[in-house]
Chain A
Amino acid sequence: MTGPTLYALTGAALVGIGFFGLISAQHLLRRVVAFNLIGSGLFVFLGAAGARSGASDPIPQALIITGIVVALSASALAIGLVVAHARASGRPTLPEEDGEA
C-alpha cells in the first residue's frame, strides 16, 4: 500500500465518519464538527490526488491551505450562530428536530 493510497483511504474514511455524524446528530455543535470532519477528509483526499503523478504538485497544497482558511471562517460563523441560537432558544437543536431521539 503506497502513501497516496493510504491518504486517499484515510480521507474517504474521514468523509464517511463525518457523514454518519451529520445524519445521526441533532446537536448542532456535533453537526459543525461533522462538517469539519468531511472537509478534512476531502482535503486529505486532495493531497493524495496531488501525489498522483509521482512528482510533487504544489497546487493541491495551495488549494488545501485556502480551503482550510475558508472552512475555518465557516466554522467560526457556524459556532457563533449555534451559540446565539442556543442562547436565544435555550436549545442546541433546530426547532423541527426537537422531539427526535
Chain B
Amino acid sequence: MSALVAVLVAPLIGALSAVALPGRSGRIAAWVAIVTTLAAAVALAASVISQGMPRLAVGSWEPPVGIVLEADGLSIAMIVMTALVMTAAALTARHMLAGDTKGPRIAFGFWPLMLLLWAALNAVFLSRDLFNLYVGIELLSLAAIGLVAIEGKPEALAAAIRYMIFALAGSLLYLAGVVLVYGAHGALDIGVLVGREPAETDGLALALMTVGLMSKTALFPFHVWLPPAHGGAPAPASAMLSALVPKASYVILLRLWFDVMPDQATDAALTLVATFGAAAVLWGSLAALVQSRVKLIVAYSTVAQIGYLFLVFPLAGGGSEDQPWAAGAWNGAVFLALSHGLAKAAMFLAVGQWMKVRGSDCLDEMEGLATAMPMTAFAFALSSITIVGLPPSGGFTAKYLVMTSAFAAGQWVWALVMACGGLLAAAYLYRPMAMVFRRADLSAFRLPSRAQQAVPLALAGAAIILGIASSGPFETLAIGRPQTAEAGL
C-alpha cells in the first residue's frame, strides 16, 4: 500500500524539491526521488505478485464519490517498465546535459519535468477514475511538451506547440466523453461503470474518448506532431517521450474498450481502429525508410510501432472477446508495448550518445561508431531486433501471440500487416546499422565512458530478456484480468 502511494508521491515531491532547492541540492533531491520511485515500483510489483492487487480509496472515500487507485498486472508491468526507462534516461542525462552550452534552462528544467512526467505516468497507470485519468494525461502532456521545448530552439518550440495543439485537442475530446459518461451514469469510477446500464450516449462518449486518445497516442493520421517533437528533444527526453508517453493514453484506451464498455464495441468499429493501426504501421515504416536523420528514423519507427498496438482491438474485443485467442492477442499487445518501450528508449539513448560524439545525427555521420563505441552499437542492434520482432526478444513473443490470434480468428490480414511491418522495420533500421558498422577512424573524438555506454545496452538487454524469460511477466499480466491467458491456443 505504501509502495502504491510512493510511486505517485516520491516523484512529485522530487519535482517540487528540484524546483525549490538551489543548484546542486536540487539535483540531489531529484536523484533521491528517482531512486525512491524505482525502489517503490519494484516493491509495488513484488507485493502485487505476492499479495494480489492493492487498492487505495483516497481519503477513505469510496466510489462513486471518492477516487480509487488500484494496481493490477497491467499497471505494475507498465510502472516497472517506466521506472527502468526513467532511471536509464536519468543516468545518461547526467552526462549528456552536463556542461552543455545551451544555458542553464535545460539543467534547471529537465529534472522537475522528468519527475513530473513520471508521476503523471504512474498516476495514469494506477487510476481507476475516468476524470482522474484526464488529469493524469493532461499533466503528462504538459510535462512532455515542456521536455520537447526545453532546448528553446525555434524548431523545437514549433514542434512543442504542434504537440500541444494535438494534445489539448485530444484532452478536450476525452473530457467531452467523460462529461457524457457522467451525464448518463453519474459515476466515473471504472469499477462502478463496469456494472452500469448501457445508455444511449455511451457510443458518442466512447467515440469522443477514443479519437481524443488516438490523437494523444499519435496514431495515424494524427501522428505528424510526433517525429518533429521526439526528434527535436534532447535524447534522454526523446527516450521517455517515445517509450512511455504514448503508452499512457494507450493503456486508457485498453481500459475503456476492454473494461469499461466492452458491450459498446462493434466489429466494424474495432476493425476501423485496427485499420488505422495498420495504416500507421505501413505509413510510419515507409516514412522512416526515407529519413536521413537517425533520430527521425527512430521517431517514425515509434509511429509504426504504435500502429501495432491497435491491431489487437478486433482480435481481443467485440465478438472475439470470449474466444480462446482473445487473451493471446491482449497479452501480445501489452508485451509489445513493454518491449517497445524498453527497446525504443535504448535506441534513443544510443543515438543520443552518438550525436554527442559526432555533433549531428545525420546518417552519413554515423560511420565507424560500431568500432569506436561497440556497446552502444550492440545496444542499437539488440533494440532493432526487438523492434523488428525477431527472436529471441519481447517483440517476437508479442508478435507471435498476436499473429497466432489473428490466424486463429481468421483475420489473417492483421498478421500480414505485422509481418510486413517487421520487414519494413528491418529495412529502415538496417540503414543506420550498416552505416554504423562501416569502417572509419574516430580516434580523434571524445567518447563517453563505458559505464555510460552500458546504460542503453542494459535497456536493450532487458527487452531481449523479456522475450527469453517471458513466462514470469505473463503470469503477472494475468493478475486482475477477467480472461486470463490459458496455455495459448
A and B touch in the complex (CB under 8 A): yes
Which residues of A approach B to under 8 Å, CB–CB? 15, 22, 28, 31, 35, 38-39, 42, 45-46, 49-50, 52-53, 57-60, 63, 66-67, 70, 73-74, 77-78, 81-82, 84-85, 88-89, 94-95
Contacts of A38 in B (CB 8 A): 172
Of A60, A74, A89, chain B has the most CB atoms within 10 Å of the CB of: A74
A35 to B146, CA, bound (A): 18
Knowing A31-B165, A35-B172, A39-B172 are in contact, say whether A81-B179 is a contact too (CB < 8 A). Answer: no
A81 near B182: Cβ-Cβ < 8 Å: no
Q: For the complex, what is the distance from the CA of A95 to the CA of B182, rounded to whole Å?
A: 39
Closest A-chain residue to B142, C-beta based? A77
Q: How far is the CA of A46 from the CA of B183 in the complex (A)?
A: 7
Q: How far is the CA of A50 from the CA of B64 in the complex (A)?
A: 13
> Which residues of chain B in 140-193 are interfacial with respect to chain A, using CB atoms and an 8 Å cutoff?
141-142, 145-146, 149, 152-154, 157-158, 160-162, 164-165, 168-169, 171-172, 175-176, 179, 182-183, 186
Kindly state the separation between the CA atoms of A74 and B146 in the bound complex, as whole angstroms.
11
Q: Contact: B175 with A85, CB < 8 Å?
A: no
Main secondary structure of the interface of B (DSSP, over half): helix
Is residue B361 contacting chain A, with contact meaning CB distance below 8 A? no
Residues of A within 8 A of B152 (CB): 84, 88
B138 at the binding interface (Cβ < 8 Å): yes
With a CB–CB cut-off of 8 A, which chain B residues contact A22? 169
From A66, A81, A89, contact of B145 by CB (8 A):
A81
A81 x B138 contact (CB < 8 A): no
Query: Does B451 touch A at the CB level, under 8 Å?
Result: no
Query: Which of B162, B179, B183 has the most chain A CB within a 10 Å cutoff?
Result: B179
Residue of A nearest to B66 (CB): A59
Would you call A89 and B158 a contact (CB within 8 A)? yes
A52 to B357, CA, bound (A): 62
Task: Check if A74 sits within 8 Å of B160, measured CB to CB.
Answer: no
Residues of A within 8 A of B146 (CB): 77
Given A49-B182, A49-B183, A81-B145, A70–B138 Cβ distance below 8 Å?
A: yes
Chain B residues closer than 8 Å to A70, beta-carbon distance: 134-135, 138-139
Query: What are 16 A-B interface contacts by the 8 Å CB criterion?
Result: A46-B179, A46-B182, A49-B183, A52-B186, A58-B65, A60-B182, A74-B141, A74-B168, A78-B161, A84-B157, A85-B158, A85-B160, A88-B152, A88-B154, A88-B157, A94-B162
**In the complex, A1→B138 CA distance in Å?**
35
Give B contacts to A, CB under 8 Å.
64-65, 131, 134-135, 138-139, 141-142, 145-146, 149, 152-154, 157-158, 160-162, 164-165, 168-169, 171-172, 175-176, 179, 182-183, 186
- Is the pair B161, A28 in contact by a Cβ cutoff of 8 Å? yes
Would A85 and B154 count as touching, CB distance under 8 A? yes
- Are B157 and A85 in contact (CB-based, < 8 A)? yes
A77 pairs with B179, CB closer than 8 A: no
Tell me which residues across on chain A come within 8 A of B154, comparing CB atoms.
Answer: 85, 88-89
List, in ascending order, chain B residues with CB within 8 A of A66's CB.
131, 135
Q: Are A73 and B142 in contact (CB under 8 A)?
A: yes
Whole-angstrom distance between the Cβ of B32 and the nearest chain A Cβ: 25
A25 to B157 Cα, complex, angstroms = 19
Taking the nearest CB of chain B, how far is it from the CB of A5, in angstroms? 12
Q: Are B186 and A57 in contact (CB under 8 A)?
A: yes
A77 nearest CB across to chain B (Å): 5
CB of A63 within 8 A of CB of B164, answer: no
20 additional A-B residue pairs with CB within 8 Å, beyond A88-B153, A89-B154 = A35-B172, A42-B179, A45-B179, A46-B179, A58-B65, A59-B65, A63-B182, A66-B135, A67-B131, A67-B175, A70-B138, A74-B138, A77-B142, A77-B164, A78-B164, A81-B149, A82-B161, A84-B157, A94-B161, A94-B162
